[in-house]
Structure 1
């Protein structure tokens, strides 16, 4: 089963009921792709004046259209010119989701690789700002404790706890952990260290002359290491494509628009604002109100056999069993492409000015969507203190460093909401639709660290393949 990307969004897009007619000569890139006019598309791309992220009235980028209509050469051209994969259309789906629906394995693989590359670039672009923020504060040591739990009966019995040890020196960060990440319902364990080289003297110069900050993962038992961006191999990509092609296309988000914070009350008879001691700090405890998980699932690309297997997997998880994990490893790999859906019969003019009726927010051109939607209220709490010696902005900068690890990334998104004043010394945060974590910042102290802690030991050797199998 694929991991679900859980997003925190600050508003809900609303479809306008007003009827608007668009000039058919607008959206020239979209039009060229719609007509599969490769020669014209090449000429337009050479001009380098058209925005590949531009959305038409239905929220589709040129890449959305080329994928949904099965115009493979157009898709290859757009991806070669770095067309954005992560942008969503008015229906809430990105280009990777549409490629999975269409079912061409080669296109899915291209989109997945490009999406990962574009995500890495976005993180690298933020690095100078966050390293400057780290350099401005005193060096420190802090422990971050994770306790995972689930609302699904019995599943909590195989959810781990972990205490990450974080060391900060200048703009360098080291994180020691036994828990690497959560992927395909597996918790990746080990004696691991992650080293981020943010200081200028440790930064490498890239091909364009810019200083590039590096991040490494170390297996301290095996005495091996790898550059973090080199961990994923072609074999990993192919296995991920197999999973994507055999699973529901899932979109999950938590809208922050209706969320409010309220002080929790204590006492049986005389109610009072609840306060708790968390480590060395006295905290005010707040409940998070109005947090709702909106999940949508598409399965038009799945066979009846796929649907039955996925249903059995969910039932297995709900009973606290992980037997289906072994079954997944025995499945044949190299899943083939699907038969393409029928081509849309509408003209460009008809598509551009398609009326939007009812809840419809955009026109879909690909395989007819089979959609299931669900909403679930989520519980969350946050423990705030005014006495923590680090500002929340610095915490967000540190979490940016940890962005490659998805559970830290989701904690960052949660804290980015308009939380009460102070520092969130303890947080209960959803990390997956079925799993939440209680995160506690403890044992904070200013400390000087030996520079050797942030270096790769000389007796470690590089082995990217080793980490891809963890």
Structure 2
């Protein structure tokens, strides 16, 4: 029932969503069909549900996606906590320099030094970068606390040190938060962006004009060998067949109201006005034999006709690998898994998961957005046995604000 069909990679859940078979969708979700899995074109069942436009189906998939994410996190949690406990305690600094090929954007991009303390199964990240998109960068004085020895609903906390507020990263959203998210999904483009790693290769960087030799430099206190990253692409795909021209104008105002923390309006009873389901696309006349017999990449349309745009940008990048760095790549991946709620750290983790040259990546170029790259430097690291426990506690005078960081 859960097989993925070879020609387009659609799962049974993809097909049920695209054909509008609600009963099948709910049956598959009840039996644990994965919501995050993508077909060969890079689209998840949730993306196809947004295209189809049935609000109930979208809500069901959003809830199940969040449930499956929680379950996967809880499955990994004991191993992650054990791995952190087995590491020595340490202090580490990462410098982020953001750059853009767009001059106007480049002038406003920040830099940031992230400070990470690790003690037992606890991690603290201090940063001045709260959130970002193409043209908006929110600065602040932010601390992210992870305490692996506490219950899941108490283990993740974000501090706003300027406002003296804190927010616990909750594992479950309220009904209103789910429905707000559905409104946003139905009112905006269906987006998919990823760093393509299929064609990436590494070659030794060279230095010198006449007598060429492999580039070797010190990065902070670490001897490093530099490699050129060939074939790095940031692929971005956008769909909007579920949006009319009127939608595109109206939804701009709706999206602005959401980013300011409000819904698009209320009825006479004070209830938020929700976006209704779309009229379903025409019933598919494609037979099963026609579907499975189609050529790869040329499958028949099952839902709405796609309104689709794809862009691909190549990035020139280097990575400096050092055999001297005291932390291993596996240890770094465990630390990055904890702080992955921050968007730029999830991008860093995605890069480090690649098969890198020997050593530890002490300096890296990675694409963050289609117009922005980041240069990350691991400029300081020391194992220490004097990391204080109070670093991982919420100051007693901080006030809880569950809405301070809406994206977490």
Q: Could you say which TM-score interval applies, normalised by the shorter chain?
A: 0.7 to 0.9
CA gap 1:173/1:327 in 2 versus in 1, 3 angstroms: closer
Q: Deviations over 1:371-418 (max 9, x none)?
A: 333332122211111111111111111111112222111111111111
Contact 1:124 1:213 (8 Å CA) reproduced = no
Q: Deviations over 1:226-274 (max 9, x none)?
A: 3212596555544443443333323233332321111222223332222
Match of 2:372 in 1: 435
Match of 1:460 in 2: 398
1:308-319 to 2 correspondences below 5 Å = none
1:133-152 to 2 correspondences below 5 Å = 133-152=83-102
The equivalent position to 1:155 in structure 2, one of 86, 105, 116, is 105
Q: Deviations over 1:82-127 (max 9, x none)?
A: 4311111233311111011111233223322332332233233222
Match of 1:246 in 2: 187
Match of 1:342 in 2: 282
CA distance in 1, matches of 2:258, 2:184: 13
The equivalent position to 2:215 in structure 1, one of 274, 296, 302, is 274
Please give the secondary structure, in 2, of the residue aligned with 1:141. Answer: strand
Structure 1: where are the runs of 5+ without partners?
Answer: 1-26, 28-52, 207-211, 314-323
Please give the secondary structure, in 2, of the residue aligned with 1:111. Answer: helix
Q: Deviations over 1:189-236 (max 9, x none)?
A: 3322111112xxx333x7xxxxx8821112223333232125965555
Match of 1:30 in 2: none
Match of 1:21 in 2: none
1:175 equivalent in alignment to 2:113: no
CA gap 1:431/1:233 in 2 versus in 1, 3 angstroms: farther
Please give the secondary structure, in 2, of the residue aligned with 1:154. Answer: helix
Match of 2:270 in 1: none
The equivalent position to 2:336 in structure 1, one of 399, 403, 420, is 399
Taking structure 2 as the reference length, the TM-score comes to: 0.86
Contact 2:180 2:263 (8 Å CA) reproduced = no
Match of 1:255 in 2: 196
Please give the secondary structure, in 1, of the residue aligned with 2:211. Answer: coil
CA distance in 2, matches of 1:193, 1:358: 48
Contact 1:230 1:464 (8 Å CA) reproduced = no
CA distance in 2, matches of 1:87, 1:469: 22
**Greater CA drift, 58-67 or 257-266:** 58-67
1:75 equivalent in alignment to 2:25: yes
CA distance in 1, matches of 2:213, 2:203: 13
CA gap 1:430/1:356 in 2 versus in 1, 3 angstroms: same
1:365 equivalent in alignment to 2:315: no
Q: Deviations over 1:305-332 (max 9, x none)?
A: 456899x99xxxxxxxxxx969976994
Please give the secondary structure, in 2, of the residue aligned with 1:431. Answer: strand
Match of 1:300 in 2: 241
Structure 2: where are the runs of 5+ without partners?
Answer: 266-273
Please give the secondary structure, in 2, of the residue aligned with 1:84. Answer: coil
Contact 2:220 2:379 (8 Å CA) reproduced = yes
Q: Deviations over 1:344-377 (max 9, x none)?
A: 1234x435x54223632x4442112233333321
1:210-249 to 2 correspondences below 5 Å = 214-229=155-170, 236-249=177-190
CA gap 1:376/1:110 in 2 versus in 1, 3 angstroms: same
Match of 1:203 in 2: 150
**Greater CA drift, 96-105 or 184-193:** 184-193
Match of 2:206 in 1: 265
CA distance in 2, matches of 1:187, 1:111: 31
Contact 2:225 2:322 (8 Å CA) reproduced = yes
Taking structure 1 as the reference length, the TM-score comes to: 0.75
Please give the secondary structure, in 1, of the residue aligned with 2:235. Answer: strand
Contact 1:144 1:164 (8 Å CA) reproduced = yes
Q: Deviations over 1:139-177 (max 9, x none)?
A: 111111111222334112333222111001112111111
Aligned Cα root-mean-square deviation (Å) = 3.1
Q: Deviations over 1:265-313 (max 9, x none)?
A: 2223332222233222232221100122333322211223456899x99
CA distance in 1, matches of 2:73, 2:343: 13
Contact 1:399 1:409 (8 Å CA) reproduced = yes
Match of 1:423 in 2: 360
CA distance in 2, matches of 1:276, 1:110: 53
CA distance in 1, matches of 2:352, 2:241: 36
Contact 2:257 2:264 (8 Å CA) reproduced = no
Contact 2:70 2:171 (8 Å CA) reproduced = no
CA distance in 2, matches of 1:203, 1:328: 32
CA gap 1:77/1:326 in 2 versus in 1, 3 angstroms: closer
Q: Deviations over 1:7-45 (max 9, x none)?
A: xxxxxxxxxxxxxxxxxxxx4xxxxxxxxxxxxxxxxxx
